[in-house]
Amino acid sequence: MAEGFLRHLGGDKFEVFSAGVKPTQVNPLAIEVMAEMGVDISSHRSKSVKGFIGQKFDYIITVCDNAKQICPMFPGNSQKIHWNLDDPAEIEGAEEKKLIIFRKVRDQIREYILKFLKKT
């Protein structure tokens, strides 16, 4: 969701890559709640952070404590930013309950992205 918002709201200002320490398929509920905001992430694919080792980045943003702890070091003077967000995919229960959590996290990510864009 963060990649989708940064691409959508940041325009051509950034070259955006998204990777995870445990890459999986993009959650269909994430696709659904982002579509509600006019952001299509249906073609996004989860990639392993290991595929980016050795590359230089201006910013490295982690979105959960586990990712922050496991994220490898990258060369250069990357500015590291951490947003401690709940993983909505870990929520159990009825789909409507899951959608509520996905929307909450989506909205938090959007706010973080907007603040990030104002600072850069």
Q: How many domains does the structure of the chain reveal?
A: 1
Q: What tens digit of pLDDT does each residue of 60-92 get? A: 898 876 655 566 566 677 888 989 998 898 889
Comparing CA positions, the residue from 107, 115, 92 lying closest to residue 30 is 107
Residue 116 lies in a domain: no
What is the dihedral sign for C-alpha 55, 24, 45, 67? negative
Q: What tens digit of pLDDT does each residue of 16-51 get? A: 998 887 778 899 999 999 999 999 999 998 788 888
Q: Token digits for 65? A: 């404590």
Residue 19 lies in a domain: yes
Q: What's the CATH code of the domain at 51?
A: 3.40.50.2300
* Cα radius of gyration rounded to whole Å, the chain: 14
Residue 84 lies in a domain: yes
Q: What DSSP element (H or E) covers 106?
A: helix 95-119
Residue 120 lies in a domain: no
For residues 12 and 114, give the distance between their C-alpha atoms in angstroms, rounded to a whole number.
15
Domain of 8 in residue numbering reads as 2-111
Residue 31 lies in a domain: yes
pTM of the model: 0.87
